[in-house]
Amino acid sequence: MNGAEQVQVRWDAAVREQALQAVTVRVRQAEATVKVVTRYVDRVRVVREKGETIIKEVPVYVPMEADAACSVNRGFVRVHDAAAHNAMPEPAGDADAGAAGIALSAVAGTVASNYQTCHENAQQLRALQAWVTQTTHERRVSE
């Protein structure tokens, strides 16, 4: 009886220790989450502000004269749109040579917006990688 009681006492102590370690890990993971999310939100805000500034500057860098001098053809639009959808464009034809009626400045604005989104996604991925690294590290430390 006495041996069984000592085993139970050690067992209960081990269970309490594991529960305490689990709580400690959860707290550290929550702290890491807050830190990573805060950093991510700040970085995305900076990316968005820069992107919006670049988009606003399109008319300065691609003035109306450039719009008038450059004809964006249908083939370019077709390739651009296919790339945006990660799909192969339909085969090129004679109709692709004609003007699409889209200004060069509109193309520049669209491309700038697409890059802005790309940079936001990159920041999101970096934040996710940082979170995984930090929370995985916390788990290993507690084991």
The percent of residues above 90 in pLDDT, for the chain, comes to 42
Contact between 36 and 131 (Cβ < 8 Å): yes
Identify the band that residue 60 occupies on the pLDDT scale cut at 50, 70 and 90. very high
- For the whole model, what pTM was predicted? 0.70
The CA-based dihedral angle spanning residues 124, 128, 129, 135, taken in that order and rounded to the nearest 10 degrees: 160
Q: What's the whole-number average pLDDT of the chain?
A: 88
Vertex 110: Cα angle to 104 and 114 (nearest 5): 145
Higher pLDDT, 88 or 32: 88
pLDDT confidence of residue 121? 94
Domain assignment of residue 90, given as a range: 2-142
Mean per-residue pLDDT, 114-141: 86
Number of folded domains in the chain? 1
Range with the largest mean pLDDT of 18-22, 29-33, 100-104, 112-116: 112-116
Contact between 139 and 32 (Cβ < 8 Å): no
